[in-house]
Amino acid sequence: MSEPARTSSTRPLALVTGASRGIGAAVARALAPRYDLLLGGRDTDALAELAAELPGARPWPADLTDPAALATVTAGIDRLDVLVHCAGVGLLGTVAETDADTWRRQFDVNVVAVAELTRLLLPALRAARGDVVLINSGAGITARPGWASYAASKFALRAFADALRAEEAGNGVRVTSVHPGRVATEMQRGVVAQEGGEYDPDRYLRPESVAGAVLLAVTAPDDAVLTEVVLRPTGR
């Protein structure tokens, strides 16, 4: 049986996936002053290092694409105030270049894993009248050449968020999609390499800026929900 996620702390509880680096780590740091944290990811060393930095945080290692494993690690969570989906992959290629395995991998991580983890945690989110925040992308609004499978997964993620919001409004669960432009992360470095470009982090949003949007969403007044937040680099 999995260890219960709640402790004797009276602080609310947040689960952040993809917390080992990038946007996920920045979100964890932004939430840490207000929430106890479960730090989701597969890099156990990075999760342990971040947990040591943040009081009230502990690693929550999980393979999000393994439904049986997810059922096990979520079993002890009976109340959850915030769920932030930061984990994802960005595999580029034209329609002509992208094979079925790439389409499946992209959707498995970016959509199916998100849907399954959310489904398993819905009772805990309903108990807390909690917030679900999905880190989407500008590609979830506009599809560009060479981004077909990635953009399709992010369009699907946006549709999932819209349906979840409508279904769970009566249960007090708020759902927010965050659509950042390009963010200075290792994933972005890989994307730029796939494009054949030169990575310059100063051209992109900081992960902390995206984390600020997440904090804004989960601390909104009870009578409001930020359905979508769109962020773009200023180019300064």
Please compute Rg for the chain using Cα positions: 17
Q: Mean pLDDT for the chain? A: 91
Q: Residue 25 in contact with residue 207, Cβ under 8 Å?
A: yes
Give the type of residue at 143: A
Question: Which residue, chain included where needed, has tokens 């979830």?
Answer: 140
Domains, the chain, ranges and CATH?
Answer: 13-88+113-134+154-179+206-231 (3.40.50.720)
pTM > 0.75: yes
Indicate the DSSP class of residue 142: -
pLDDT, one tens digit per residue, over 108-160 is 999 999 999 999 999 999 999 999 999 999 999 999 999 999 999 999 999 99
Question: Which residue, chain included where needed, has tokens 């984990």?
Answer: 87
1: pLDDT confidence band, cut at 50, 70 and 90?
Answer: very low
Question: What pLDDT sits at residue 10?
Answer: 81
Between 8 and 62, residue with greater pLDDT: 62
Question: What pLDDT sits at residue 172?
Answer: 97
Report the pLDDT averaged over residues 202-209. 84
Rounded (5°) CA angle 135-140-145: 130
Rounded (5°) CA angle 5-35-233: 120
Catalytic: which of 35, 150, 199, 204?
A: 150
Question: What pLDDT sits at residue 2?
Answer: 40
Q: How far apart are CA 208 and CA 199, in angstroms?
A: 19
Question: What pLDDT sits at residue 4?
Answer: 40
150 catalytic? Reply is yes
Question: What pLDDT sits at residue 204?
Answer: 78
Torsion (CA) 59, 116, 188, 32 in degrees, nearest 10:
-40
